Amino acid sequence: MSVGPLHFMALAAVLFSLGLYGVLSRKSTIMTLMCLELMANAVNINLVAFSHYRTPALMTGQMFAVFSMVVSAAEIGLGLALVLAIYRLRKTVELDAMQELKG
């Protein structure tokens, strides 16, 4: 049995669903950031899989995935810096305790 594009899409769908569940159900900011990263990795799996099966010589999916990883790394760095700043100010990282951030 060979691994086809549907297997990669199923894996990405499971990872994205787990990440979405984590974002919607977790109260910790750190866990929410980790679940967002899991969702981004599911998108990267789809990018690479579609590129491999559609146009393997061009490697466009791999390039987009690398760009997405760079943006995700910057996002996580900024997110953790914000979490540390909020923790120093409020002494908590729970999302429910941050009422002042609401618009």
Give residue-wise pLDDT tens across range 69-99: 999 999 999 999 988 998 898 888 888 777 6
The closest alpha carbon to 72, from 102, 95, 47, belongs to 47
Look at residue 54 and tell me if it is in a domain.
yes
The pLDDT of residue 90? 84
Which of residues 17 and 83 earns the better pLDDT score?
Answer: 17
- The CATH number of the domain holding residue 87 is 1.10.287.3510
Could you give the number of structural domains in the chain? 1
DSSP code of residue 93: -
Look at residue 103 and tell me if it is in a domain.
no
List the structure tokens of 63.
């390039």
Helix H or strand E segment including 10: helix 5-25
Look at residue 91 and tell me if it is in a domain.
yes
The pLDDT of residue 103? 60
Q: How many CA atoms lie within 13 A of 20 on its CB side?
A: 8
Q: What is the pTM of this model?
A: 0.85
CA distance 89 to 76: 20
Q: Which residues constitute the domain of residue 22?
A: 5-98
Look at residue 23 and tell me if it is in a domain.
yes
Give residue-wise pLDDT tens across range 24-66: 998 888 999 999 999 999 999 999 999 999 998 999 999 999 9
Look at residue 65 and tell me if it is in a domain.
yes
Taking each helix axis from N to C terminus, what angle separates 29-54 and 60-90, rounded to the nearest 10 degrees?
Answer: 180
- Residues of the chain above pLDDT 90, percent: 69
The pLDDT of residue 19? 96
